Structure 1
Amino acid sequence: MAFYQLGMDGCRNLEAQTQIPFLQRDEVVDGYADYQGYAIKRSESGGWRSASFILVSGSLERFAYFGIESNLISYLTGPLGESIATAAANVNTWIGVASLVPVFGSFFADSFLARYQAIILASVIYILGLGLLTLSTVPTSLISVSTFQGRDIVAQILFFVSLYLVALGQVYKSCVQAFGADQFDGNHPDEKKAKSSFFNWWLCCLCIGATAAHLILHYIQDNINWGIGFGIPFIAMTIGLVLFQIGNRTYRFSARQNDADEILNESICQRFIKVLPAAEDSGEAITTKTNGAKIFLRLLPIWSTCLTYTIAMAQVSTLFTKQASTVDRSLGPSFSIPPASLRAFIALSISFCIPIYDQIFVPIARKITNFSTGITMLQRMGTGMAISVMNMVIAALIEMKRLKTAKDFGLVDIPNAAVPMSFWWLVPQFTLIGLTDVFILVGSQEFFYDQVPTELRSLGISLYFGAVGTGNFLSSFLISAIQKATSQNGRDGWFSDNLNRAHLDYFYWLLAGIGIFGFVLFAYLAKSYDYEENAPKENFQP
């Protein structure tokens, strides 16, 4: 009996000695470290605790960005006195640059800098650009449009230089989103589901910032002072950077990204060309030699089809806003909504739909499909593309009604008079843009993040922004080419400064046709696409 008791005590001691290290190993998040480079425990880091700092700072960044982007065409056609076609092309070009910068910047960040350092550097450039932008607008905000034209060239140069510094700071977008997703361990079942939700809530929180910009900043810019309207984003971005840094002690840093010596000593090609880990197929171990370059080439066809959607989306910042400036925007006897503020319906639509999608649709779809995300990422993207086509059709029909109303009331040659048509007629096309984003924006960002090696995920997310940028460049080219072709021999053209004689409806029909072509091609490509990391094969069903 004493021998038995001794044996039992020995087993308990052995169990205690082996259990404690096992539990410790179980708590440590493999592949990640804290801000000092030490191993980090799951219970003390990452998750929604860390993501909350990132979501709030990201919301403030979007408040700053949309405070500039959404009303930029009003500033160009107002204080700077540009024509609608020129201003639309300039806005599309700037948004194109701002959207392509994350691609190259994220590549540099993934090659030489850790994502965290890239976020800090981009934030500083961003804040510098916003500060200079504010200074450049101060003279124009104190001078009337008529007296400003032809004067203060230095202020104009400073304006565009600072504007493109803001574009350069957009490296922030892809890096901070990838860094936020890194706070969830994809190998842990609960955190894997939370990571998918993070992309949904990321968009929702960004919409809060965008909505505030649309409702507050645009009114200040249009009715009070452009200098103040551009200065507030500068303050918001500065606060966002401070809040982001407060979360340092809770963040999970990729162990590879955290190793500065290894990052600096490795060339771009070595960082870009990665050998994926060995995989096991049909019980036989095989070593896959797929590298990063081949993965990106494999994603290229899917990426190219997204351009048909982003060309249509580019009109939100330009033609949708100018279209809104021509209708009755009054609320009550003495208040008129700024044209750019109608974009608040995009953010409100997203904020309304994201919780429904994440908390109701996904759990129901998960039970049917057995996918952790409810529907696959490509199915989500395809649904968004279909909604985008429908939206352009609706936009074309609404513009036809607006033109008919202007003709019926004899306002064709009075461009400054508001067409007696309520702004509520335009709300559907703004609202559907938000619904489209819920599907294709979130789906594509999650898709490109998930389908590239861990070390290149900032670059993966930036592929979506690259599609947006390229779409804006293509939109700028289309507008310039079409205006040149349709305005010959003294004709007004599709993009006449007098929108009552323009034909935005023709352009919207053209974009709907381009969208249909892109959707059909996307559906064909999605059918044969095989996900990385043994994910289920895509069978896209429109």
Structure 2
Amino acid sequence: MSIGASGVRPCCLAFAEDQIAHWDDNRKDRALRGLFSWYYVSVGFAQIVAVTILVYFQDQMGWKAGFGISATVMLSITVVNLVASPFYVKVKPQKSIWISLLQVVVVAVKKRHLVLPETHQSVQFHNAWGSRELVPSEKMRFLNKACILSNHEPIVNDAASSPSSWNICTVDQVENFKSALSVIPMWSAMIMTFLIQSSSFGVLQAATMDRRIGTEKFQLPAGSISIFEIVTFTVWSGCYDRYIVPLLRRITGRQQVLTLKQRMGIGVFLSIASMAVASTVETYRRKAAVREGLQHDAHGTLQMSVLWLAPQYVIIGLAGAFSSIGQIEFYYAVLPKSMGSFVLALLFFGAGVASIMATLVVKTINLITGRNGMVRWLSNNLNEGHYNYYYFLLAIFGVIDLVYFIVCTYVFDERTLNMSLEMGGDAKEMVEFQEASSNHGCEN
């Protein structure tokens, strides 16, 4: 599944953008406004189907049916894509962005003893055929060694006679690598939001609560409790640009309501709030279990509605809508267009790192709290454990991460980065471009 997902998730938005890259500017701009929102809505809709219909069949017919339906749906979609393939715009694959970035590191290490001149006038740089970036930026100057032509390396004017990329890189490659390094602090500050959103202990909580909703006959499957998060994420994603932003503009009287970094920061703050709410609800749920004499009964059902868990999932959904969507639009705004697939890869890489971190946190907590025969915080019996302490600890981690994020926002200057990426562009135009990206990240 991971190998398959790695082929789909980082490429879908970049592939969709390829379909309209040849359109005229006005038509393309209108299409790009809706591309991001519809992508998030489609992902949210798929998740809603997964945690409702698919989980229902799984509960009623077993795991074989659940996996079988999933496999059938994916096979059907594969056939549809193969049939529609002739109608797609398929851009020929270029050199891998990952290999290109690695080459910058290798060449910079090889040329580490090279002395950088004070000015660009006394040095020649290697440029790709047709490139607009003639000289590298002054940011991270030590990487400029990778694109300096030494005395024994001839200047070439065509791609066929270009020297090996493992011996010298182009200015474009170096600037792309600088761009990737520039967003790493912001990227690292957002990992905590993924860690919080990846928590699945709510399913265990739901399994101990009264899951009847509206009628005695219908029970919400414990595995469907995340429906509140997914619906919130989907509705907010679909409505934000079309309804919420215009409303906020009328209320504030400002054209620029929230920048991309502010939206990401709101996502971090909401993640903290979700864990604070989760800790409070779990404290109340555990007290109810003790009061009803179910402290030592891991399978008992409380007289407490599962809807108590809804608020924390709604807040997590909002946090995801602000942080994940804000991240993608932020990366698209500040990174070169050639790194489109790298943007989503960076997002999902962060989610993977967060999952590993979450596993380490859980193992460490149980190792420390389970010493000397004490009941672990994350015991198999929720009524004996202290999951409320775990949620509160995540909230504390979130506060620390919020401080780190604020520091990163002051250090990172996307306007300077954008100007360095657009060699030959007018500075005023780049400022206007960034202001537009803050309001409509999907237009970039």
TM over 0.5: yes
Superposed, 1:314-329 pairs within 5 Å as 314-315=198-199, 318-329=200-211
8 Å CA contact 2:10–2:341 kept in 1: the answer is yes
1:312 to 185, 196, 200: 196
Post-superposition shift, 1:482? Answer: 0.6
Tell me the alpha carbon deviations over residues 207-259 of structure 1, each in whole angstroms, 9 at most, x when there is no partner.
111111111111222332110111111011112223333443443344xxx1x
Map 1:74-89; keep pairs closer than 5 Å.
none
Give the TM-score normalised by structure 1.
0.61
Amino acid at match of 1:307: I
Distance 1:295 1:220, change over 3 A: same
Among 390, 400, 403, the alignment partner of 1:507 is 390
| Aligned-pair CA distance for 1:190 | 5.0
User: Is contact 2:193-2:323 (8 Å) kept?
Assistant: no
Counterpart Cα distance in 1 of 2:345 and 2:197: 17
Q: Counterparts in 2 of 1:49-198, with a 5 A limit?
A: 166-171=1-6, 172-185=8-21, 188-189=25-26, 191-192=28-29, 194-198=31-35
Task: Determine if the alignment matches structure 1 residue 488 to structure 2 residue 371.
Answer: yes
Alpha-carbon spacing, 1:358–1:408, altered in 2? closer, same or farther (3 Å)? same
Closer, same or farther in 2 for the Cα pair 1:217/1:272, shift >3 Å?
farther
Cα drift, residue 271 of structure 1: 8.8
Could you say if the C-alpha distance between residues 409 and 380 of structure 1 is closer, same or farther in structure 2, counting changes exceeding 3 Å? same
Query: Would you say the 8 A contact 1:326–1:419 is kept in 2?
Result: yes
Which 5+ residue runs of structure 1 have no aligned equivalent? 1-165, 281-286
In structure 2, distance between residues paired with 1:454 and 1:474: 31
Alpha carbons 2:332, 2:343 under 8 Å: kept: yes
Cα deviation for residue 528 of structure 1 reads: 4.0
Structure 2 counterpart of 1:422: 305
Q: 2:70 aligns with which of 225, 233, 237?
A: 233
Alignment of 1:245-260 (within 5 A): 245-254=82-91, 258=92
Q: Indicate how the Cα distance of structure 1 residues 519 and 194 shifts in structure 2: closer, same or farther if over 3 A, else same.
A: farther
C-alpha contact (below 8 Å) 1:527/1:539 kept by paired residues: no
Shift of the 412–440 alpha-carbon distance from structure 1 to 2, 3 Å rule, reads same
> Are 2:200 and 1:363 equivalent residues in the alignment?
no
Shift in alpha-carbon separation, 1:415–1:250, aligned structure 2, 3 A:
same
Residue equivalent to 2:434: 536
Rounded to whole Å, the distance in 1 between the matches of 2:3 and 2:261 is: 30
414-423 or 442-451: which moved more? 442-451
SS of aligned partner of 2:294: coil
| SS of the residue 2:12 aligns to | helix
Is contact 1:196-1:446 (8 Å) kept? no
Question: CA separation in 1, counterparts of 2:48 and 2:438?
Answer: 36
Whole-angstrom CA distance in 2 between matches of 1:355 and 1:539: 18
TM-aligned CA distance change 1:253 to 1:412, over 3 Å:
same
3-state SS of paired residue (1:500): coil
Deviations 1:14-67 (A, max 9, x none): xxxxxxxxxxxxxxxxxxxxxxxxxxxxxxxxxxxxxxxxxxxxxxxxxxxxxx
Compared with structure 1, are the counterparts of its residues 470 and 207 closer, same or farther at alpha carbon in structure 2 (3 Å cutoff)? same
Measured after TM superposition, the shift of residue 188 of structure 1 is 2.4
Structure 1 position 277, deviation (Å)? 3.1
Give 1:320 deviation, angstroms: 1.4
Distance 1:196 1:501, change over 3 A: farther
Deviations 1:347-367 (A, max 9, x none): 211232223212112335568
Task: Please tell me whether residue 204 in structure 1 is matched to residue 38 in structure 2.
Answer: no
Shift of 1:419: 1.5
Cα gap change, 1:433 to 1:508, in 2 (>3 Å): same
1:491 Cα shift?
1.4
Structure-2 change in CA distance of 1:461 and 1:450 (3 Å): farther
Q: 1:464 to 1:196 in 2, by over 3 A?
A: farther
CA distance in structure 2 between the partners assigned to 1:428 and 1:224 by the alignment: 30
Is the 8 Å Cα contact of residues 411 and 417 (structure 1) preserved in structure 2? yes
1:406–1:500 CA contact under 8 A, matched in 2: yes
Q: CA RMSD in A?
A: 2.9
Note the C-alpha offset of 1:288: 7.0
Counterpart mapping for 1:342-381 below 5 A: 342-364=225-247, 369-370=254-255, 375-381=258-264
Q: Is this contact kept in 2: 1:494–1:507, CA < 8 A?
A: yes
Question: So what's the TM-score if we normalise by structure 2?
Answer: 0.74
Q: Does the 8 Å contact 1:184/1:192 carry over to 2? A: no
Check whether the contact 1:381–1:439 (CA below 8 A) recurs between aligned residues: yes
2:380 corresponds to: 497
Q: CA deviation at 1:191?
A: 2.6
Match for 2:194: what amino acid?
T
Identical residues among aligned pairs (%): 27
Give the 3-state SS of the residue equivalent to 2:205 in structure 1. helix
2:328 and 2:347 in contact (8 A); partners too: yes
- Given that 2:40 and 2:238 are in contact with CA atoms closer than 8 Å, whether structure 1 keeps it comes out as no
Q: Which residue of 2 aligns with 1:214?
A: 51
Distance 2:406 2:304 in 1: 38
d(CA) in 2 for partners of 1:505 and 1:223?
32
Q: Does 1:299 align with 2:134?
A: no
Correspondent of 2:334 among 444, 448, 451: 451
Cα distance in 2 for partners of 1:272, 1:376 equals 34
Whole-angstrom distance in 1 between the partners of 2:264 and 2:30: 19
Amino acid at match of 1:486: T
Q: Which residue of 1 aligns with 2:133?
A: 278
Secondary structure at the counterpart of residue 419 of structure 1: coil
How many aligned residue pairs are there? 359
Deviation at 1:455, TM superposition (A): 2.8
Q: CA deviation at 1:505?
A: 0.7
The structural deviation recorded for 1:305 is: 0.3
* Among candidates 260, 267, 271, match of residue 384 of structure 1: 267
- Give, in whole Å, the separation in 1 of the partners of 2:409 and 2:24: 25
Say yes or no: does 1:269 pair with 2:100. Answer: yes
The answer to whether the 8 A contact 1:530-1:536 is kept is: no
Code of the residue aligned with 1:240 in structure 2: it is: I
Q: For residues 17 and 329 of structure 2, what CA distance do their matches in structure 1 show?
A: 9
* Equivalent in the alignment of 1:37: none
Residues 182 and 209 of structure 1: CA distance in aligned 2, closer, same or farther (over 3 Å): same
**Contact 1:450–1:457 (CA under 8 A) maintained in structure 2:** no
Q: Give the distance between the partners of 1:311 and 1:202, measured in 2 at CA.
A: 23
| Structure 1 position 527, deviation (Å) | 3.1
Change beyond 3 A, Cα 1:511–1:277:
farther
Q: Any unmatched runs of 5+ in structure 2?
A: 105-126, 136-169, 423-429, 440-444
Shift of 1:328: 0.9
